[in-house]
Structures are given as C-alpha cells and as structure tokens.
C-alpha cells in the first residue's frame, strides 16, 4: 500500500480518502490472482475484503471487470461496495 502511494506521489497524484491493498479473486475459480489497491471513504474501505475479477474473451479481446467486494469467498453473485474505487493493480508472475 505504501509503495503504491509513494509511487503515485512521485508522479504528483494524491488520493482523497483511505487506501488499502486486498487480494484479487477470480470469480468462479476462487483463486487469488494478484492484489489491488482500493481507495475511498474510511468506513467503506474498511469493509472491502477483496476485489472480485470477472474475465471475458470476445473475438480475441480480453476484458477484466474488477469489483470491490466484502468477502474473500464470493458465491455466484457479487455484492459491490459502493463508493470505493480501484487505484492500483499488483500482478504476480506465476
């Protein structure tokens, strides 16, 4: 979290609100695939436990939809935390 904030500050970017880093979970597979920094009001950021990732491929184009959620074990539906955005992504090479 501090690394992303320091990197952003070097580029003149600052966040309003609170930030924290949470795992990215691929919905359906339930596996951890990286991490994301979320940003927003303290009370909302505190409820975020993970970022759910839904992927789609259409005609050679890959899309990823990232949703701040309040659980690390999502079911068939996702409950998005309103008022929280994603400010950074951390990918792990496997």
pLDDT of residue 49: 94
- Residue 57 and residue 42: Cα distance in Å, rounded? 35
Non-local (6+) Cβ contacts of 87 within 8 A are: 4, 8, 15, 19, 37, 38, 39
Domain ranges of the chain: 2-91
Predicted confidence band of residue 43 (pLDDT cuts 50, 70, 90): very high
Q: Read off the pLDDT of each residue in 73-78 and give the average, rounded to a whole number.
A: 71
In the predicted structure, residue 33 carries a pLDDT above the cut 80: no
pLDDT of residue 46: 96
Sheet order of strands, 31-40 included: 61-69, 50-58, 18-26, 31-40, 85-91
């Amino acid at each position: 979290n501090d690394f992303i904030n320091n990197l952003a500050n070097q580029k003149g970017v600052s966040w309003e609100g609170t930030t924290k880093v949470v795992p990215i979970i691929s919905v359906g597979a339930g596996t951890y695939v990286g991490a994301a920094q979320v940003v927003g009001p303290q009370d909302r950021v505190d409820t975020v436990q993970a970022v759910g990732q839904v992927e789609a491929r259409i005609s050679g184009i890959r899309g990823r939809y990232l949703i701040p959620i309040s659980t690390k074990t999502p079911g068939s539906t996702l409950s998005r935390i309103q008022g929280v955005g994603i400010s950074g992504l951390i990918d792990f090479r496997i």
